[in-house]
């Protein structure tokens, strides 16, 4: 069984007070609905666990019902950090889950094809993480705005979601995160912590994350929606 955990429990601090980016309108649907529909349409996904802010659980259930998300297993309130929300989501998975796919609900450009590619990599290699090569010149700044040196971009990748893993591998990684009391910003970081290799799945299409209000029209243009 393959289970998706869609995480949308962040504070959306860059959007301003009292704003939850996951429920802002993007075309005719809220941002979170686009991710839900992509996972609903992906044949490799059996169940979906949706993790949202505590004050948005009812709204999230309404979105699930409105857009006919039949694969939903449950909608739960997340934690204070991303890793807390992911671990809460994992506790809600079906015990028979073999592959778990974690996705940011604020990445509406995700497609069923990309989801399937990460799952294929996870089945073959233990994990599959969506990523793109960094094409911009990157500068390293120690402090302030003065450049220390230029980083070799040929070795740099921008990591995205979805991130798919063998379920037991991810459980083991997050146990280490808790035992060592560290903070990780994504699942790949947790797996790196236990010394396991992380395999990237190159994706050449837009897969941006909604972070500020200015990202909404960019996402709409990338998705060719009005």
pLDDT tens per residue, range 77-112: 999 999 999 999 999 999 999 999 999 999 999 999
User: Per-residue pLDDT for 10 more than 90?
Assistant: no
Rounded to an integer, the average pLDDT of 31-50 is 97
In the chain, where the domains are located: 2-221
Q: Dihedral sign for Cα 100, 31, 186, 10, please.
A: negative
pLDDT at 15 over 80: no
Provide the Cα torsion 54, 57, 59, 61; round to 10°: 170
With vertex at residue 155, the alpha carbon angle to CA 153 and CA 161, rounded to the nearest 5 degrees, is 95
Superfamily of domain 2-221: Spore Coat Polysaccharide Biosynthesis Protein SpsA; Chain A (3.90.550.10)
Q: Cβ neighbours of residue 82 under 8 Å, at least 6 residues apart?
A: 7, 9, 10, 185, 186
pLDDT value at residue 192: 97
Q: pLDDT tens digits for 151-188?
A: 999 999 999 999 999 999 999 999 999 999 999 999 99
- The token duo for 140 is 């390293």
What pLDDT sits at residue 6? 98
Each residue's pLDDT tens digit, 212-225? 889 999 999 989 88
Name 101's Cβ contacts closer than 8 Å, sequence gap at least 6. Answer: 2, 3, 4, 5, 39, 45, 115, 118, 119, 122, 162, 163, 164, 165
Q: What is the pLDDT of residues 182-212, one digit of tens each?
A: 999 999 999 999 999 999 999 999 999 999 8
Main-chain dihedrals φ then ψ at residue 185, nearest 5 degrees: -95, -10
- Please give the mean pLDDT across all residues of the chain: 94
Q: Quick one: pLDDT at residue 225?
A: 80
* Per-residue pLDDT band at 16 (split at 50, 70, 90): low
- Residue located via tokens 């948005």: 56
Whether 13 has a pLDDT exceeding 80, the answer reads: no
Q: What's the confidence (pLDDT) of residue 106?
A: 95
Model pTM score: 0.94
């Amino acid at each position: 069984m393959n289970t998706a955990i869609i995480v949308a429990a962040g504070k959306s601090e860059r959007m301003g007070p009292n704003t939850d980016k996951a429920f802002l309108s993007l075309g005719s649907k809220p941002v979170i609905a686009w991710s839900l529909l992509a996972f609903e349409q992906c044949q490799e996904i059996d169940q979906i666990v949706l993790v949202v802010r505590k004050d948005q659980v009812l709204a999230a259930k309404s979105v699930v019902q409105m857009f006919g998300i039949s694969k939903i297993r449950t909608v739960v309130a997340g934690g204070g950090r991303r890793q807390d929300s992911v671990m809460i989501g994992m506790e809600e998975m079906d015990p028979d889950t073999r592959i778990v796919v974690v996705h940011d609900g604020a990445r509406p450009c995700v497609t069923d094809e990309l989801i399937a590619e990460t799952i294929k990599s996870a089945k073959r290699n233990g994990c599959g993480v969506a990523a793109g090569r960094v094409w911009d010149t990157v500068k390293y700044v120690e402090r302030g705005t003065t450049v220390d040196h230029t980083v070799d971009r040929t070795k740099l990748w921008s990591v995205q979601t979805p991130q798919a893993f063998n379920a037991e591998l991810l459980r083991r990684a997050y146990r280490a995160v808790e035992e060592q009391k560290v903070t990780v910003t994504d699942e790949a970081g947790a797996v790196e912590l236990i010394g396991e290799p992380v395999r990237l799945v190159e994706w050449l299409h837009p897969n941006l994350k909604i972070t500020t209000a200015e990202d909404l029209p960019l996402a709409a243009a990338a998705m060719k929606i009005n």
